[in-house]
């Protein structure tokens, strides 16, 4: 199986998603469309992963629109997709939902709460890394997957093979450090979670997050 990953900024990589792929010995390719303008085709993609980034799906950039064309093709072919943050927003917009300003900017660690029993093996509560001020509306025919104390729409399941999350469950320790030191000003500006980059790093990655990530990927890849 070939997993194609769309990475949208240097400091938000695939983290434990690659660990999962390596355990299954899947082929794993990472594209950087914001820099090189190159995307895979749907025919050569068995699973598509869309990662986070500082841009918005509402931005008028050609590669952002081209990504959504690829997402639509993946939907039409009924192939699995996972989106994190901006990636989830791209999927939601392709499915007809809007991406709007969230009621609160969340940057740092905060709990998310499970809202559906559709996926077996998920805890009722987990601590995820939030790094956003926009949010997706839930697409029609999708189920709300997670909510937080400040923002209701934290995750969705669309059909039986697509998941989008507003927060990040994929980062590993080095990824957290990379995000915090390179995007530190974002954490300091009007952050409703009131966490500094130093506090975000010191918190560490909860041990259960990797297994939660694996469970989500197993679900869409059944």
Q: Where does the pLDDT of residue 40 fall: very low under 50, low under 70, confident under 90, or very high at 90 and above?
A: very high
Output the pLDDT for position 167: 98
CA dihedral 201, 204, 206, 209 (to 10 degrees): 50
Q: What is the residue-averaged pLDDT of the chain?
A: 97
CA dihedral 49, 211, 85, 191 (to 10 degrees): -160
- Measuring CA to CA, how many Å separate 96 from each of 11, 82, 136? 29, 17, 10
Quick one: which H or E segment has residue 155?
strand 155-158
Output the pLDDT for position 109: 98
Output the pLDDT for position 22: 98
Output the pLDDT for position 73: 98
Output the pLDDT for position 177: 97
Dump pLDDT digits (tens) for 123-162.
999 999 999 999 999 999 999 999 999 999 999 999 999 9
State phi, psi for 211 to the nearest 5 degrees.
-70, -35
Share of the chain above pLDDT 70, in %: 100
Report the distance separating Cα 56 and Cα 167, nearest Å.
Answer: 15
Q: Which domain holds residue 96?
A: 2-220
Output the pLDDT for position 61: 96
CA-only gyration radius of the chain, Å: 16
Output the pLDDT for position 46: 98
State phi, psi for 109 to the nearest 5 degrees.
-90, 135
Q: CATH code at 128?
A: 3.40.50.880
Q: How much is the average pLDDT of 85-114?
A: 98
Domain count, the chain: 1
Dump pLDDT digits (tens) for 111-131.
999 999 999 999 999 999 999
State phi, psi for 71 to the nearest 5 degrees.
-60, -45
Q: How much is the average pLDDT of 38-44?
A: 98
- Measuring CA to CA, how many Å separate 129 from each of 57, 70, 167? 21, 27, 6
Nearest CA-CA partner of 110 in 186, 215, 195, 202: 195
């Amino acid at each position: 199986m070939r997993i194609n990953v769309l990475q949208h900024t240097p400091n938000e990589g695939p983290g434990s998603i690659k660990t999962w792929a390596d355990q299954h010995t899947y082929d794993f390719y990472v594209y950087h469309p914001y820099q090189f303008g190159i995307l895979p085709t749907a025919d050569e993609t068995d699973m598509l992963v869309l990662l986070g980034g500082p841009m918005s799906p509402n931005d008028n950039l050609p590669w952002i629109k081209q990504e959504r064309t690829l997402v639509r093709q993946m939907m039409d072919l009924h192939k699995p997709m996972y989106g994190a943050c901006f990636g989830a927003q791209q999927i939601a917009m392709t499915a007809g939902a809007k991406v709007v300003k969230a009621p609160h900017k969340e940057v740092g660690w905060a709990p998310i709460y499970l809202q559906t029993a559709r996926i077996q093996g998920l805890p009722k509560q987990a601590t995820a890394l939030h790094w956003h001020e926009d949010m997706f509306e839930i697409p029609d025919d999708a189920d709300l997957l997670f909510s937080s104390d400040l923002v209701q729409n934290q995750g969705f399941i669309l059909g039986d093979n697509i998941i989008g999350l507003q927060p990040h469950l994929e980062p590993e320790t080095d990824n957290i450090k990379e995000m915090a030191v390179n995007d530190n000003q974002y954490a300091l500006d009007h952050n409703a979670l009131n966490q500094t980059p130093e506090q975000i790093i010191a918190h560490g990655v909860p041990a259960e997050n990797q297994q939660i990530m694996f469970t989500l990927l197993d679900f869409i890849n059944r």
